[in-house]
Structure 1
Amino acid sequence: MNGTKNTKHRFIYTDVYKDRVVQLYYGGMKKKDITEEYEVSMYLLNKWIKQYNRDIN
């Protein structure tokens, strides 16, 4: 998992990592596949997608 830092059982994800994962979703990859391959929860993925949409509007 590149782009992350483990701090006492919590991961801190860089903005670059989040953007890369969100772009996979917008590129057509299924959310389920993203969460499994990149080991992020569905909750986080949905949160990042919402943040991305707010940032571009």
Structure 2
Amino acid sequence: MPSSKKKKETVPVMSMAGLIRYYEEENEKVKISPKIVIGASLALTIIVIVITKLF
């Protein structure tokens, strides 16, 4: 026998908490490899240390 009760609608937890994800395809992202980020941060650290020692 089919149930006469309405099926409960399941609402995703994120929607209930007010958090909504918007998936947009962006082709203009800046892509930087992890090696460049680590190298730049090490270079900046060395520059700051050298400048502090000189002055």
TM-score, with length taken from structure 2: 0.34
Structure of larger gyration radius: 2
Higher normalized strand content (fraction of residues) = 1
Higher normalized helix content (fraction of residues) = 1
TM-score, with length taken from structure 1: 0.33
